[in-house]
Amino acid sequence: MIFAGSELQIHDLKFGRGVKVDAEENKQLQLYALGALNQFSLLHDFDTVLLFIHQPRLNHVSEWALSVNALNAFGERAQDAAAAAITTAAVADCEGAETLPIDVFTSGEKQCRFCKAKATCSALTQSNFNTVADDFVDLSRDIAPQISGAKERINACDTAHLAEVYSQLDFIESWCSAVRNGVHAELEAGRDVPCYKLVEGRPGNRAWVTTEAAEATLKSMRLKKEEMYSFTLISPTKAEKLLKKDNPRRWSKLEWLIFRSAGKPSIAPASDPRPALIINHENDFDDLTAIEAESLI
């Protein structure tokens, strides 16, 4: 905490290098600030709160300012949410978490990321199905009415809807891995999972039991060196390691022979600092009408 006149600063040092965190609307930091206000507002007259997150290992600093009034309003909402959570926890404690209705869970990327119940949580399963269900035909119902006018419906699926589903893909993929691992763990523990079993997977690549024995046997067959060994030129990365530091003159003679193909276009969020690619397909085609007109002259 830093008290700077009427300004209360909360600085949070996060030393991991996993996930970048922003200070804006950050509930954890707002709760820290409420704690500081509760303890020190009698001694200081604060009107602004500044929240900071420092992540030195990600070279990231994030800052967000809010008024004390806005922070207190957040505090009231947090109190209501905490009261509801305490009631829910008490019910779960007495009657078991599995008795809670799905709507008391608020699944989401942040809160579910490290949850151990991810593979088996009904609320998360339901929410992921809701995200994708619109795009699939329900095979348990009559299919004809569902696919009638399908072409028009495909046209109606606009890019905003596509973007909404796309934004959930990482989360859904992480849930898919959790379910895969969960089923694997159940089967490995010897428990029954309906319709599934463990089988031996694809065997690994073939290898010599001992390289020396294989080499001696091949030599005894009088094979030529080029038949026995495969030589390949070292890669630019290996050449760089070999020469750049110890022999920069030799390295400079090689550098011009290295090329790197351009990266394939990939999707990034609009906030990504890289400039957007300008896609223009107009120049990919010749104007045949102009060529035809010329040939007629």
Comparing CB distances to ligand SF4, the nearer of 29 and 118 is: 118
Stretch of residues binding ligand SF4 (CB under 6 A), selected from 28-36, 117-125, 153-161, 257-265: 117-125
Among 10, 29, 37, 124, binds ligand SF4 (CB under 6 A): 124
Among 50, 55, 121, 128, binds ligand SF4 (CB under 6 A): 121
Comparing CB distances to ligand SF4, the nearer of 9 and 88 is: 88
119 near ligand SF4, rule: CB under 6 A: no
Residue 7: partners with Cβ closer than 8 Å, 6 or more residues away: 46, 47, 48, 49, 50
Write the binding mask 73 to 112 for ligand SF4: x where contact by CB under 6 A, - elsewhere: --------------------------------x-x---xx
List the structure tokens of 132: 């994708």
List the structure tokens of 266: 């990939």
Among 100, 123, 179, 239, binds ligand SF4 (CB under 6 A): 123
> Which long-range CB contacts under 8 A does 16-23 form with residues at least 24 apart?
16/55, 16/57, 17/55, 17/57, 17/58, 19/113, 20/55, 20/58, 20/60, 21/53, 21/55, 21/62, 22/53, 22/62, 22/64, 23/51, 23/52, 23/53, 23/62, 23/63, 23/64
Size of the site for ligand SF4 (CB under 6 A): 10
What is the closest distance, in whole angstroms, from the C-beta atom of residue 178 to ligand SF4 in the complex? 8
Site residues (vs ligand SF4, CB under 6 A): 105, 107, 111-112, 115, 117-118, 121, 123-124
